[in-house]
């Protein structure tokens, strides 16, 4: 069944998200995988892939919002700037399965630095940080933290 396959392949998606994906497929009993991920006859991406992209961007936006909430509770919600150490703590809370090495790789990408340069980053403007996180390709590593 397509739902169970999608749930296995996308374990972080809830039942409603999986059903949204299934809803884009004309016949969920007979599925041509190429048609899910390949272009339609007109050259447009498939409805399945459109929905998958939409969910991805929604999930990233939610993840950044959750990171910001954790960051605000750690450093104070009225701050205009955040320290990178506080962001690392926010990752520990929001995405506990993400290793510190993965967090550092992501932050190096966000700040366009080598990993050994991260310790030199001073306080970062809140809005700039949130914008960079949104455009960084950020994804959750595991289930939501507590």
**Range list of β-strands (E), the chain:** 81-82, 124-125
Q: What is the pTM of this model?
A: 0.81
Q: Please, which residues bridge with residue 125 across strands? A: 81
Residues 6+ away with beta carbon under 8 Å from 45: 39, 53
Q: pLDDT averaged over the chain?
A: 88
Q: How many CA atoms lie within 13 A of 78 on its CB side?
A: 0
* pLDDT 10s digits, 44-102: 898 999 999 999 999 999 999 999 999 999 988 788 999 988 999 999 999 999 999 99
> Which of 28-37, 62-71, 109-118 has the highest mean predicted lDDT (pLDDT)?
62-71
User: Residue 145: pLDDT band by 50, 70, 90 thresholds?
Assistant: low
State the virtual CA torsion across 58, 60, 63, 65 in degrees, nearest 10.
Answer: -70
């Amino acid at each position: 069944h397509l739902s169970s396959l999608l749930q296995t392949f996308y374990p972080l998606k809830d039942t409603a998200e999986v059903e949204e994906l299934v809803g884009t497929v004309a016949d969920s009993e007979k599925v041509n995988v190429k048609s899910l991920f390949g272009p339609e006859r007109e050259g447009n991406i498939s409805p399945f892939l459109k929905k998958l992209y939409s969910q991805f961007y929604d999930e990233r936006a939610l993840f950044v919002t959750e990171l910001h909430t954790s960051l605000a509770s750690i450093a104070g919600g009225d701050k205009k700037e955040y320290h990178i150490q506080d962001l690392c703590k926010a990752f520990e809370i929001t995405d506990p399965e993400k290793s510190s090495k993965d967090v550092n790789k992501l932050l190096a990408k966000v700040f366009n630095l080598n990993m050994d340069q991260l310790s030199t980053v001073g306080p970062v403007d809140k809005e700039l940080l949130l914008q960079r996180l949104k455009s960084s390709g950020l994804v959750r590593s595991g289930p939501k933290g507590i």
